[in-house]
Structure 1
């Protein structure tokens, strides 16, 4: 405790402004020169650059305000969160697990058709639309040198590439959906691209007219997804799915093990029944033998009693 008190006296109390001369009661008018640390006076020219928060980045040779730097950091965090949460979603073959299998396998074709229409004609386009708009917006601001029409081409190519890869290997689709966006973020960070609020507004006004073209790209994605789904269903009908093969193998192994255990149990049961029968026979023989001996003994005693009575 004594050490803490000493440190408090040495380093905290000297921060209190020391005024030499008259004091009119206005603390805000204290000159910075009178502020001391450990009894050493600090010149206001030394700490003035660090008290101006808005222009603090100028001390590092960066021509960006503190507010703009915070905005860039928040933007990168939002971009990373979006990619991290969305890439695993769009990279799944069954991208929309709505739990419709119980309706698709109930034997009613009408229910199955309605489920597929809802899943691939309504929900899937909405998902693609959200991904397309959000990622296009990010890319539109991150790559100002790329023509606007090329931005949409890159995004729809990425979406289609990820969906095609998902029907081949989901891990490959995840790599596409994750690595390419983060690679673009790395290119953006290493390039000399900084935006002012006016630049953002100008880019936004230039982006809005191209939103009408999104419908065509979404229709293209729907057509590609429909083709992939049909090919996948045909493959599943013609060729056994790997998961089904694995399930069959597991079931066969389980059946074989069950059969072996049942045979062992039956063999043990037969041996136990034989042993019970043998022991039962032995017990019966012993009982019969003892019964015969008792009967003979009784007869012998009866005969001896008769002889004694005759005498």
Structure 2
């Protein structure tokens, strides 16, 4: 309730600002917010596609901490580190990117229900992750082109420049977090499956290097 009151207050302040500006300057606040919004979205997508399209989203190299000499212990720690890095940390980081991207789309795509936004974003991120294990160049193209296409569609949608409507849309963001845990589970399961399917490839490569 406090969040809704705050958003309403911000919206009222924005409308009041517009009302007191001279007619020739009423374009300035919407132009500023639109420019900042598109710039922030563009920066996010630049980071998003460079990060999410990599097969190994994290470059932690935790193997360097495996300093034991005992062969059995080395193998055990190697498996433990692999599970921790690629099947626990990576899915959580991917979920964080999914959450940020979903919030952007919730604000941009005012005509879409929250559940549909989450489905679209989860489907897109899942497709990017699947393609990353097939061909990283393909996943990079998907991670870059689809979000930019969504931005283009949003810009051409009537009501895009309704800043007051965009501010009101923020009040719906808590709905996202009510069901976000299910998408986290899905992302974890998907990443685990992809990693298990990729293990034979890693095993074959390590065998060739010997």
TM-score, normalization by structure 1: 0.54
Please say if 1:217 is aligned against 2:179: no
User: Rg bigger for which structure?
Assistant: 1
Contact persistence 1:105–1:112 (CA under 8 A) = no
**Corresponding residue for residue 24 of structure 2:** 56
Q: Distance in 2 between matches of 1:207 and 1:104?
A: 42
Instruction: Give the match for residue 163 of structure 2.
Output: 196
Aligned equivalents of 1:244, 1:82: Cα separation in 2: 39
Aligned residue runs from structure 1 range 259-270, under 5 A: none
Report the equivalent of 1:264: none
Any idea what the Cα deviations from partners look like across 1:154-199, whole Å, max 9, x if unmatched? 11111110110000000000001000000111112222222233x2
Under a length normalisation based on structure 2, what TM-score does the superposition of the two structures give? 0.78
| Residues 103, 112 of structure 1: 8 Å contact kept | no
**Counterpart in 2 of 1:81?**
43
In the alignment, structure 1 residue 94 sits paired with structure 2 residue 56? yes
2:105 paired with 1:143: no
What is the count of residue pairs matched by the alignment?
186
- 5+ unaligned residues in a row in structure 2: which ranges? 1-19
Offset at residue 244 of structure 1 (A): 8.0
CA change 1:101–1:54 in 2 (3 A) is: farther
The one of 12, 20, 34 aligned to 1:72 = 34
Contact kept in structure 2, 1:90 and 1:162, CA below 8 Å: yes
Alpha-carbon deviations, 1:132-171, whole Å to 9, x = none? Answer: 1111111111111122111000111111101100000000
Cα deviation 1:55-78 (Å, max 9, x = unaligned): 436xxxxxx631121011000000
Could you tell me how far apart the structure 2 residues matched to 1:203 and 1:87 are? 25
Describe the superposition over 1:279-304 as per-residue Cα deviations: whole angstroms up to 9, x where unpaired.
xxxxxxxxxxxxxxxxxxxxxxxxxx
1:10-31 Cα deviation digits (max 9, x unpaired): xxxxxxxxxxxxxxxxxxxxxx
Residues in 1 aligned to 2:23 and 2:84: alpha-carbon distance in whole angstroms = 54
For residue 159 of structure 1, what is the aligned residue in structure 2? 125
Q: Using a 3 Å threshold, how does the CA distance of structure 1 residues 54 and 190 change in structure 2: closer, same or farther? A: farther
Name whichever structure is richer in helix by fraction: 2
Residue 16 of structure 2 aligns with which residue? none
* CA deviation vs aligned residue, 1:108-148 (integer Å, no higher than 9, x gap): 13322332243134422331222111111111111111221
Question: Structure with the greater relative contact order (CA < 8 A, sep ≥ 6): 1 or 2?
Answer: 2
- Residues in 2 aligned to 1:96 and 1:69: alpha-carbon distance in whole angstroms: 37
Residues 99 and 55 from structure 1, CA distance in 2 versus in 1: closer, same or farther, beyond 3 angstroms? Answer: farther
Quote the RMSD (CA, aligned, Å).
2.5
Distance of aligned partners of 1:77 and 1:244 in 2 relative to their CA distance in 1, 3 Å threshold: farther
